[in-house]
Structure 1
Amino acid sequence: MPEVNRSAPPPVGGWTRFVTARPRLALLAALVITALAVFAGSGVADRMGSGGWQAPDAESTYATEVLAREFPASQPNLLLLVDSGSAGVDDPAVAAEAARLTERLKAEPGISGVGSYWETASPALRSEDGKEAIIAARIGGDEKTAGETLDRLAPAFAGERGPVTVSLGGPVAVQHEMQTIIQEDLLRAELIALPVTLVLLVMVFGSAVAAMLPLAVGVVAILGTNAVLRGLTEFTDVSVFAMNLTTALGLGLAIDYALFIVRRFREELAGGADTRTAVGTTLRTAGRTVLFSALTVAVSLSAMLVFPQYFLRSFAYAGIAVVLLAAAAALILLPAALVLLGPRINALDLRRVLRRGKKTAAAGAGPAGATADGPGAGPAGGADASPGRGWAWLGALVMRRAPVFAIVTTVGLLLLGLPFLGVKFGTADDRQLPASAESRVVQEHIRDGFPGSPGGGLEVLAEGQGSRADHADLKDRIEQLPGVLRVDGPVADGPAAYYSVLPKGEAVGEQAQQLVRDLRAMPSASSLDTSVTGTAAVLVDSKDAIADRLPWALAIIVVVTLLLVFLLTGSVLIPLQAVVLNALSLTAMFGAVVWVFQDGNLSGLLAFTSTGDIETTLPVLMFCVAFGLSMDYGVFLISRIKEEYDRTGDHEHSVTFGLRHTGGLITAAAVILAVVMVAIGTSRVTNTKMLGLGIALAVLMDAMVVRSLLVPAVMKLMGRSTWWAPAPLRAFHSRFGVSEGEAAPAATPTTPAAPPGLEPTAEAEEISGARRDIGEPARR
């Protein structure tokens, strides 16, 4: 093996001096800023919306806005379900009370376009058994105003009203109840995740002091992001669903970054460095990795900005803010805290009692924590005498049988992803809510008991100076289209008119979506311009918008990821490998999403109702988030492998070394993040449940299968060519690239010799012993 001369580390200065010169002042400033963030971010959830699936520049959006302005009755978003009991909706007393409720509703501020079965005698507003009927109205204003109006109306209209019982439903009620439930579930998820996370961190670090630091970083990131989102609500729509991502990523990534930095700091202390030198080395090594990791995650999330739906854009806003704030806290506040704590980072070792027997048995083996490779290692940390030995053994085993592990793992992941080939895309509706939610109960009564679904059909808007004959001709041609059950209208007001079209089959089924396309392709009279809206039309436009922008989003993720990983490694093949393996790690998540949430498997256990499809935007969101988190773990592993390869020039040893020093760290971080995501997945709203549980599965598969098995196997098969790059790119990396380790002079061939730090009595023998344990001859 070539001997590599390693230059001494540069003196502490630069960024280290900046962030640690006044550590108490830095922490005090952080406390003040955090307090201001609490104030600035208060009430952020109340200003968020629960929609955002509709593309704002779509034809359906335009038609919906015109109809809401010109024909409010055509777009009811509030439905009062009037239950007459055994009397029947045509009973005189029932009719009188319904008429009184209708008149009262018309007089309410913010209400327009009120109509009822008792005024119109429309069969679509009367249940088939004759016991229920509907009063339909439209609440004006944005989502926040509509929610406030609904809160005011509910006590006055819902409940027992003389001979009838009134329940509130419709899109406004569904969205408002969904928003309320999400806020309640998020609070419960935080109450579950925080104590469990603290326990896991104590188990990982051993020290209660060290365990509190990642939580502090996470709290700063979450509160800061809430303030950012509160500011954004002044300028744009933000989805309330993004609050879940703020909590999950705020805790998860803060813990990842703090684990990585604190572990490296304790490692340097264990090696004999003083506090400030240890902080400086930590920032030059682990700090760079954290910075690159944050950039790769932020890039993955920023790809959602190319989509027009504010539901997806909101996750980009929240994700980018929380990632950058978590990295900033880890790179500024955490080093300041480490300077103040020094060796006291290992204080309050809560595992000491459990380890007392092990310490006694190992008393003759040398001081505990001498190698300090694991997250729990360090002075007085009581680490095992050979931390990471199991990971070294696993790495040697995987590389010994690299073709087998590569093939079996790849085939297994692809098989897990097969159900996604049968994915069906749909739109979110009331069935996202728990079965007991009032607005869902109302919608189910309407869906199951009424001949037509108010608000569930299609509307064709016709604009222009068309004659009566033109409008009649348009109606005739609509009625002749396949998939049309009934056409009502036209209802005209000046130059605009609309037709209500009831499709055959399900309101958003394939037949209804095809009818939307047929209506838009149908030639109309030269004097009339038509546009189509309705639930199926919104779904068609949403799918088209995502399909149109998806290549751009993927290009952003792939190109920037390739560039960042190249700057970190100087290799052409490692960035390609990272992208491919990260994508492969997501197959299990996508397969499970379809098998569970679309097909309904485990629906009883997980307490949700399958609609037979997946909301169109969810796979995009889950891909961007899970890909970013996979890159997070990938950067941690690759950077440590690259650092060791730069130091020794030994490819196989570097892979084993990297897995040994990061395997436990990555697994611990993944388990903790999975706990947070599972807590989010306990939500009663199906989409949030799918998001939390799906990403938890992706994170665990990536850490425990891809990073532990597939990456070492692939790197073994690629050999030293892993680090290849053409001369121009090598020159580019030499000038602009960075890595976790300090730059080393070029290797000079010489007689084989153990490089510094790998003397036969230390780590080299442990790794060689791991190879011998599985029957592989020790190699330099």
Structure 2
Amino acid sequence: MQVVPEGGPDSEATKRLVQDIRDRHDELAQRYGVDIAVTGMTAVGIDISALLGAALLPFGIFVVGLSFVLLTMVFRSLWVPLKATVGYLLSVGAAFGVIALVFEQGYGAGALGVDRLGPVISFMPIVLMGVLFGLAMDYEVFLVSRMREDYVHGGDARRAVTTGFVSSAKVVTAAAVIMFSVFVAFVPEGDVNIKPIALGLAVGVAVDAFVVRMTLVPAVLHLLGDRAWHMPRWLDRVLPSFDVEGESLAREIELADWPEPGATDALAAQGLRLDAPDGHPIYQDVTFRVPPGAALVVSGPHRSGRTALLLTVAGRAHADAGVLKVAGLVAPERAPAIRGKVAVASLARALDPVAALREAFATGAPVVVLDDLDTVSDPALRTAVAAELAAARGQASAAGRPSPSSSAACRPTA
């Protein structure tokens, strides 16, 4: 049965008609024993619009949330991604507002070649949000990465805003002008379904580049000063780090001859400190040098921070301050490589401490960390552990290589 509504395919009356017919499905099935369904281009278009409308909010939350997390990891700051996210929402809102004014209210419709007013194509919001998100984050990274680089190397936050803006503004301007020209060219002569998308992208790019990124971004960063680059320590430890400014390379070059030119220490540390989330130090003022084949004994009572210090040496934790080199590698910048050169044996958690110790030495790592050595209280096991340590040194000497340096945690009485 073909039903022809009085209104157009995009009118509210047609939408209500389709829904009214579907709502009577159970009634007609019970009264006449027939199963009805509504199809056709109009009904399909209404269903697609409803699905896309329902997906718009989750899509927006996903895009905004993902950008916030990624920018937090890149710039090691909470204010920078928050500012970037709010700016992106402002750009999207401006684009949607202009589209509504032109294509629904008719402002400037004649000048832009818009012949028919009414609802725009249903997938326009998702397309516009996705494309504008990519362009907005490009402009953000272009602009702010240079500011952060100048801040990291110079230390003056407000001066870094000025120098970074001067260096990157030309790139952002050129990119924005190119994209604006491409999108706005489709507005006067484009397809009726393409016009709102093109106009929205053109407005969004212009607002995002010239109002948000090149006006609000430097203004907010200048007002925040050093606070713009602040990040809670606990969050800094949790999130992975992307070194886009080359901080790690600069630090490695700076410490190439530390603690002295030609040093071959297995472990070297100066002024190491790690703070708990409440600000109290877990360990502090830790300084040592361990040559190849030697041992470092870290002693202290339970919860004294000894395990945290050993995990820092092993590249599994990062100190908040101080300098640390493990097998010639700077920590925490080279933490992944350090983890490959340090074997860890936690004797308190092992069912067989001797087997755990043997497995750690079998890796051939130049540094071996033994945690909770004091928990081995059985005399026979302690003798076996001592024999395993001696055997590892003997095997290294027989092979003509230095004995693996070891770092053990134990109590003073152990």
Q: TM tier, shorter chain?
A: 0.5 to 0.7
Return the letter of the residue paired with 1:587.
G
Q: For 1:684 and 1:652, locate their aligned partners in 2 and report how far apart those are by CA, in whole Å.
A: 45
Tell me what 2:12 maps to.
Answer: 510
Tell me if 1:556 matches 2:62: yes
Secondary structure in 2 matching 1:567: helix
Structure 1 runs not aligned, ≥5 long: 1-498, 748-780
Question: Which of 219, 222, 243 is the equivalent residue of 1:738?
Answer: 243
Report the CA distance between 1:581 and its aligned residue.
0.9
Return the letter of the residue paired with 1:696.
A
Tell me what 1:539 maps to.
Answer: 45
Q: For 1:655 and 1:544, locate their aligned partners in 2 and report how far apart those are by CA, in whole Å.
A: 45
Q: For 1:507 and 1:665, locate their aligned partners in 2 and report how far apart those are by CA, in whole Å.
A: 45
Tell me if 1:530 matches 2:36: yes
Q: Is the 8 A contact 2:120 2:196 kept in 1?
A: no
Trace 1:223-622 onto structure 2 (pairs within 5 A): 499-522=1-24, 523=26, 524-526=28-30, 527-622=33-128
Q: Is the 8 A contact 2:71 2:80 kept in 1?
A: yes
Q: For 1:504 and 1:686, locate their aligned partners in 2 and report how far apart those are by CA, in whole Å.
A: 23
Return the letter of the residue paired with 1:547.
G
Return the letter of the residue paired with 1:589.
A
Sort the Cα spacing of 1:566 and 1:507 in 2 relative to 1 into closer, same or farther, 3 A: closer
User: Is the radius of gyration larger for structure 1 or structure 2?
Assistant: 2
Sort the Cα spacing of 1:682 and 1:503 in 2 relative to 1 into closer, same or farther, 3 A: closer
Q: Is the 8 A contact 1:598 1:610 kept in 2?
A: no
Secondary structure in 2 matching 1:642: helix
Tell me what 2:405 maps to.
Answer: none
TM-score by length of 1: 0.30
Q: For 1:505 and 1:678, locate their aligned partners in 2 and report how far apart those are by CA, in whole Å.
A: 32
Secondary structure in 1 matching 2:2: strand
Q: For 1:737 and 1:507, locate their aligned partners in 2 and report how far apart those are by CA, in whole Å.
A: 51
What is the CA deviation profile of residues 428-449 of structure 1, one whole-angstrom value per residue up to 9, with x for unaligned ones?
xxxxxxxxxxxxxxxxxxxxxx
Secondary structure in 2 matching 1:709: helix
Q: For 1:613 and 1:636, locate their aligned partners in 2 and report how far apart those are by CA, in whole Å.
A: 36
Tell me what 1:207 maps to.
Answer: none
What is the CA deviation profile of residues 106-156 of structure 1, one whole-angstrom value per residue up to 9, with x for unaligned ones?
xxxxxxxxxxxxxxxxxxxxxxxxxxxxxxxxxxxxxxxxxxxxxxxxxxx
Report the CA distance between 1:682 and its aligned residue.
4.5
Report the CA distance between 1:637 and its aligned residue.
0.8
TM-score by length of 2: 0.55
Q: Is the 8 A contact 1:618 1:691 kept in 2?
A: yes
Name which structure has the greater RCO, CA cutoff 8 Å, separation 6+. Answer: 1
Tell me what 1:223 maps to.
Answer: none
Secondary structure in 2 matching 1:501: coil
Q: For 1:691 and 1:515, locate their aligned partners in 2 and report how far apart those are by CA, in whole Å.
A: 29
Tell me what 1:652 maps to.
Answer: 158
Q: Is the 8 A contact 1:637 1:659 kept in 2?
A: yes
Q: For 2:220 and 2:117, locate their aligned partners in 1 and report how far apart those are by CA, in whole Å.
A: 40
After the TM superposition, list the runs of 4 or more consecutive aligned residues in structure 1 that deviate by more than 4 angstroms: 744-747
Q: Is the 8 A contact 1:583 1:627 kept in 2?
A: no
What is the CA deviation profile of residues 598-653 of structure 1, one whole-angstrom value per residue up to 9, with x for unaligned ones?
23333332223123221111122112111221111011111111111111222111
Question: Which of 172, 176, 181 is the equivalent residue of 1:666?
Answer: 172
Q: Is the 8 A contact 1:570 1:729 kept in 2?
A: no
Return the letter of the residue paired with 1:612.
G
Q: Is the 8 A contact 1:508 1:535 kept in 2?
A: no
Q: Is the 8 A contact 2:74 2:241 kept in 1?
A: no
The alignment's C-alpha RMSD in Å is 2.4
Question: Which structure is higher in helix share?
Answer: 1
Tell me what 1:711 maps to.
Answer: 217
Question: Which of 182, 199, 208 is the equivalent residue of 1:693?
Answer: 199
Structure 2 runs not aligned, ≥5 long: 255-414
Return the letter of the residue paired with 1:624.
G
Instruction: Count matched residues.
Output: 248
Sort the Cα spacing of 1:650 and 1:732 in 2 relative to 1 into closer, same or farther, 3 A: farther
- The percentage of aligned residue pairs carrying the same residue is 36
Return the letter of the residue paired with 1:633.
Y
What is the CA deviation profile of residues 469-490 of structure 1, one whole-angstrom value per residue up to 9, with x for unaligned ones?
xxxxxxxxxxxxxxxxxxxxxx
Return the letter of the residue paired with 1:706.
V
Q: For 1:600 and 1:546, locate their aligned partners in 2 and report how far apart those are by CA, in whole Å.
A: 25
Q: For 1:644 and 1:619, locate their aligned partners in 2 and report how far apart those are by CA, in whole Å.
A: 37
Q: Is the 8 A contact 1:566 1:575 kept in 2?
A: yes
Sort the Cα spacing of 1:560 and 1:684 in 2 relative to 1 into closer, same or farther, 3 A: closer
Trace 1:617-628 onto structure 2 (pairs within 5 A): 617-628=123-134
Report the CA distance between 1:592 and its aligned residue.
1.4
Tell me what 1:678 maps to.
Answer: 184
